[in-house]
Chain A
Amino acid sequence: MKSRHKKLALIGGAVAIIGIIAALVLNALNSNIALYITPTEVAAGKAPKDKLFRIGGLVKDGSIQRQADGVTISFAITDTEKEIPVHYKGILPDLFKEGKGAVAQGKLTAEGTFMATEVLAKHDENYMPPEAAKAVDDAQARAAGKHVSPSSSGDKPKASY
């Protein structure tokens, strides 16, 4: 092969490979992104249908219920304004507690129940997933705007130290 042909072959090959990889990446990215939706947005019907998404917020006090099979659990995730019922089958992470922040990934049924395939865990007790914190902060900001008097931040996630 002449050196010019060689160069052409090299460039052609490189372009083809980059094209394939880019297509691969975009395709994978497109089908594997989960949007974060707050409970208020879900209640307003803004959740995608038949597509995975994540919701974040606080696990509502007194909402955890165990089904007869022992490993299916239902609870509610709330941003202090609206709450969404969640179903999850499996063992929950250690730090999953009522009144604490949580993030769940799954799909919404036609009846408005969130079927979670994954409930996110965390390492640090005081750490609040930013998405959960944001959902609660947004809801409280809206509440504060309505009632004029700033709400006491009893539920509000506190920084660690």
Chain B
Amino acid sequence: MIPELGHFALILAVLVALILGTLPLLGAHSNRQAWVALARPATSALALLVTFSFACLTQSFVTSDFSVLYVAQHSNSLLPLQYRVAAVWGGHEGSLLLWMLMLTWWAFAVAMLSRQLPEAMVARVLGTLGLVAFGFLLFILITSSPFERLLPAAAEGKDLNPLLQDFGLVIHPPLLYMGYVGFSVAFAFAIAALLSGQLDAAWARWSRPWTTAAWVFLTLGIAMGSWWAYYELGWGGWWFWDPVENASFMPWLIGTALIHSLAVTEKRGSFKNWTVLLAISAFSLSLLGTFLVRSGVLTSVHAFATDPARGIFILIFLVAVIGTSLALFAWRAPKVGLGGRFGLVSRESLLLTNNVLLVVACATVLLGTLYPLLIDALGVGKISVGPPYFNAVFVPVMSPILFLMGAAPFARWKEASIPEIARTVRWAMLAAALVAIALPLLYGQWSALTALGILLAAWVTFTTLTAFVQRVQHTRAGQSFASAALKQPRSFVGMCIAHFGIAVFVIGVTMVNSFQDEKDIKMAPGETVNVAGYSFTFNGVKSVQGPNYTAAQGDFDLAVNGKFQRKMNPEKRNYASSGMPMTEAAIDAGFLRDVYVSLGEPIDRDRPEAEWAVRVYYKPFVDWIWAGCVLMALGGLLALLDRRYRAKSRASASVKIPAGTQQA
């Protein structure tokens, strides 16, 4: 009964979405107040219906109702409760419903927090979101309903993929989807601007906090996925340039460009067309990501065995959304106009350069991701584009971005002078150069690439610090430095923290790539292996019983200079229901390094008490990678809470509603 109610709610939701996607838009166009006024109640109804439907599916998982096909495929009665709940989005159908849920909640948040906006604008924004929701709901109902029955009911569920039975799964997809879907709001604002032909500083101020909020979620979602891969997959890597990773990274790159472009549009009225185009691109790339993951066209660690009909539906949807919005853009953009003029050297021009470079970076990722598909479609053969391509292209494109990032805050709007900027940052440059020479030497090996990474990270750090101190000095007016520092606007402090986060991230990437050490080795009980000054003594394995798996648990002693530090217990699990093996690495995390042990396989399957293949890693500064991402997200959050959004519109409170969603 409950699954049928959920299904029925989805069908009603399609109808509501259709109303939301048509009447308010027409009403705004032909100035019919009654239709315009429909937008908010329809949005609320949509959110309510989809939330109810999602709750029904969750209920089926919690009670292990194996007469529902999707539940039988992705859950198991032995599965602990928290994973039964997370299993709701452990497969294709449920994750689409989660996507949908996020979309309606974003729309609901817009409806609630947009009292300051003109009614016609609200109707256009919510109407656009309604159209997107309509497409996705149709997709769910036609090709991927999670409520299909399995008769007779299965006696036991197939179980959730063991890789997904982890805290990471509980929060990675919701965070990522919040980010992905959040760009739909920026997209809807852009479409609304095109439809109305009105794009001014006020528009930029309204859409800015929404874009930043989506970007914050996306940043955290990507970082979470990367961290999860690092500790859960047992390969010790944090980024693989996997097509699906790329699919989440592309909207991030464009989203980052969009945030900065919006800032210029708000402050100077420039880049209007560009901003709109970026907003359309960010959401289109989110959709493309969904298509790539869901259609099974790619070889990826994320790929599910899928039904081609789904891929075709999403492709059609993708083409419809991108095609319509680009056509609208071509038709209406001249009306929106380019906005203010600026000099060849100015803060605008530096930001624009970085924007273009971010788009170029995104384009190279897109090329590397789609190239194999293109070649395949042409029938020339099957190829793969490996990580070396991305690394080779990314370093040269990102380096100027980081350099300009340090310099841009010192450039004046409209017209800046290079000698003046150079004078201001000369100490930062000198300090960065010194660090870049010294730090790699301290680690025993100097190489140009390592030095470049450190140089850029130090440069960003010192210039950001200089910008902050300079601004505090300017606004001090007799107060103490500390109290003036505390009174800086949150958006400025947020920018400094986010830029500092980039520096921390770059240090992490540079150090771990330059100085990591790894060994794959056969170890018998009693043997010791040394990696980068750490010694690991293997004391054998013992059998351990988990709630729904049995594991061989290794026992290692970690020592430095002969001094015992701690025990490390990596596991090789075998999940009862699926028979799937899984590696659980043991990680000793530290501020300056991680050390990492994982079990491969027993050399002789019949004698697990004897030798094992073991993988040992030393990873300097690896946690800085995720710490940097968290700082970026924190910076975004602070910017979001800036007073001016609260004074002029209540949009800043937007963060409250999404935050509550994480308990789902």
Q: A29-B385, A66-B603, A125-B161 are in contact. Are A24 and B303 (CB under 8 A)?
A: no
Q: Are B601 and A92 in contact (CB under 8 A)?
A: yes
Q: Are A123 and B302 in contact (CB under 8 A)?
A: yes
Q: Are A161 and B600 in contact (CB under 8 A)?
A: no
Which A residue sits closest to B301, measured CB to CB? A123
Q: What 0/1 pattern do residues 114 to 136 of A give for CB contact below 8 A with B?
A: 00000011111111111100100
Let me know if A152 is at the binding interface, CB within 8 A.
no
Which B residue sits closest to A121, measured CB to CB? B301
CA distance A70 to B599 in the complex (A): 13
Q: Are B383 and A35 in contact (CB under 8 A)?
A: yes
Which B residue sits closest to A52, measured CB to CB? B386
Looking at B116-124, B247-255, B576-584, the stretch in contact with chain A turns out to be: B576-584
- Give the interface of A toward B (CB within 8 A): 1, 6, 9-10, 21, 24-25, 27-29, 31-36, 52, 54, 66, 69-71, 89-95, 103, 105, 120-131, 134, 159-161
Which of A29, A32, A91, A95 meets B613, CB within 8 Å?
Answer: A91
CB-CB under 8 A from A121, the residues of chain B are 233, 235, 301
Q: Are B305 and A70 in contact (CB under 8 A)?
A: no
CA distance A9 to B397 in the complex (A): 21
CB-CB under 8 A from B384, the residues of chain A are 33-34, 36, 54, 105
Which of B303, B388, B520 meets A32, CB within 8 Å?
Answer: B388
Could you count the A-B residue pairs with CB atoms below 8 Å apart for me: how many are there?
120
Looking at B1-9, B19-27, B184-192, B360-368, the stretch in contact with chain A turns out to be: B360-368
Q: Are B521 and A21 in contact (CB under 8 A)?
A: no
CB-CB under 8 A from A33, the residues of chain B are 371, 383-386, 389
Q: Are A25 and B393 in contact (CB under 8 A)?
A: yes
CB-CB under 8 A from A10, the residues of chain B are 344
Q: A28-B389, A91-B613, A120-B299 are in contact. Are A71 and B304 (CB under 8 A)?
A: no
Q: Are A95 and B580 in contact (CB under 8 A)?
A: yes
CB-CB under 8 A from A27, the residues of chain B are 392
Q: Are B393 and A28 in contact (CB under 8 A)?
A: yes
Q: Are B161 and A124 in contact (CB under 8 A)?
A: yes
Q: Are B388 and A28 in contact (CB under 8 A)?
A: yes
CB distance from A103 to the nearest CB of B (A): 7
Q: Are A71 and B600 in contact (CB under 8 A)?
A: yes
Which residues B495-544 have CB closer than 8 A to chain A? 520-522
Let me know if B65 is at the binding interface, CB within 8 A.
no
CB distance from A11 to the nearest CB of B (A): 12
For B234, B389, B580, the residue with the greatest tally of chain A CB atoms inside 10 Å of its CB is: B389
CB distance from B276 to the nearest CB of A (A): 21
Q: Apart from A21-B364, A32-B389, A130-B296, list 19 A-B contacts with CB within 8 A.
A: A1-B344, A25-B364, A29-B367, A31-B392, A33-B383, A33-B386, A34-B384, A35-B383, A36-B381, A36-B382, A54-B384, A70-B521, A70-B613, A93-B235, A94-B582, A123-B163, A123-B302, A124-B161, A128-B305
Let me know if B611 is at the binding interface, CB within 8 A.
yes
Q: A25-B393, A28-B389, A122-B301 are in contact. Are A134 and B382 (CB under 8 A)?
A: yes
CA distance A161 to B163 in the complex (A): 19
CA distance A92 to B516 in the complex (A): 20
Q: Are B389 and A89 in contact (CB under 8 A)?
A: no
Which of B303, B360, B381, B521 meets A122, CB within 8 Å?
Answer: B303
CA distance A14 to B274 in the complex (A): 17
CB-CB under 8 A from A32, the residues of chain B are 385-386, 388-389, 392
CA distance A49 to B608 in the complex (A): 40
Chain B interface size range: 35 or more
CB-CB under 8 A from B393, the residues of chain A are 24-25, 28
- Give the interface of B toward A (CB within 8 A): 73, 161, 163, 233-235, 296-297, 299, 301-306, 344, 360, 364, 367-368, 371, 381-386, 388-389, 392-393, 396-397, 520-522, 578, 580-583, 598, 600-601, 603, 611, 613, 615
CA distance A24 to B299 in the complex (A): 25
A-B contact pairs, 9 of them (CB 8 A): A24-B393, A28-B392, A36-B383, A52-B386, A70-B603, A91-B520, A95-B581, A121-B301, A127-B304
Which of A28, A93, A124, A134 meets B304, CB within 8 Å?
Answer: A124
CA distance A58 to B578 in the complex (A): 20
Which of A34, A89, A94, A123 meets B581, CB within 8 Å?
Answer: A94
CA distance A6 to B341 in the complex (A): 13
8 tightest CB-CB pairs across the interface, nearest first?
A70-B522, A160-B305, A36-B382, A32-B389, A91-B600, A28-B392, A32-B388, A71-B520
CA distance A66 to B602 in the complex (A): 11
Which of A6, A69, A126 meets B305, CB within 8 Å?
Answer: A126
Q: A70-B611, A124-B305, A161-B305 are in contact. Are A35 and B580 (CB under 8 A)?
A: no
CB-CB under 8 A from B613, the residues of chain A are 70-71, 91
For A21, A91, A92, A128, the residue with the greatest tally of chain B CB atoms inside 10 Å of its CB is: A91
Which of A24, A31, A92, A125 meets B600, CB within 8 Å?
Answer: A92
CB-CB under 8 A from A9, the residues of chain B are 344
CB-CB under 8 A from A35, the residues of chain B are 381-383
Which of A1, A34, A69, A128 meets B386, CB within 8 Å?
Answer: A34
CB-CB under 8 A from A127, the residues of chain B are 303-305
Q: Are A125 and B368 in contact (CB under 8 A)?
A: no
Which A residue sits closest to B524, measured CB to CB? A70
CB distance from A36 to the nearest CB of B (A): 4
Q: A103-B299, A105-B386 are in contact. Are A25 and B304 (CB under 8 A)?
A: no
CA distance A105 to B371 in the complex (A): 18
CB-CB under 8 A from A95, the residues of chain B are 580-581
Q: Are B73 and A161 in contact (CB under 8 A)?
A: yes
CA distance A10 to B343 in the complex (A): 11
CB-CB under 8 A from A134, the residues of chain B are 382
CB distance from A38 to the nearest CB of B (A): 9
CA distance A120 to B235 in the complex (A): 12
Which B residue sits closest to A21, measured CB to CB? B360
CA distance A6 to B305 in the complex (A): 55
Which A residue sits closest to B164, measured CB to CB? A123
CB-CB under 8 A from A122, the residues of chain B are 301, 303
Q: A28-B393, A94-B583, A161-B73 are in contact. Are A71 and B382 (CB under 8 A)?
A: no
CA distance A131 to B296 in the complex (A): 12
CA distance A29 to B615 in the complex (A): 31
CB distance from B121 to the nearest CB of A (A): 35
Q: Are B615 and A131 in contact (CB under 8 A)?
A: no
CB-CB under 8 A from A66, the residues of chain B are 603
CB-CB under 8 A from B396, the residues of chain A are 21, 24
CB distance from B40 to the nearest CB of A (A): 40
CB-CB under 8 A from A52, the residues of chain B are 386
Which B residue sits closest to A27, measured CB to CB? B392
Q: Are B580 and A94 in contact (CB under 8 A)?
A: yes
Which of B303, B364, B383, B522 meets A124, CB within 8 Å?
Answer: B303
Q: Are B383 and A89 in contact (CB under 8 A)?
A: no
CA distance A35 to B389 in the complex (A): 14
CB-CB under 8 A from A90, the residues of chain B are 520, 615
CA distance A27 to B364 in the complex (A): 12
Q: Are A125 and B521 in contact (CB under 8 A)?
A: no
CB-CB under 8 A from B611, the residues of chain A are 70
CB distance from A158 to the nearest CB of B (A): 9
CA distance A125 to B74 in the complex (A): 13
Which of A71, A89, A125 meets B580, CB within 8 Å?
Answer: A125
CB distance from B585 to the nearest CB of A (A): 11
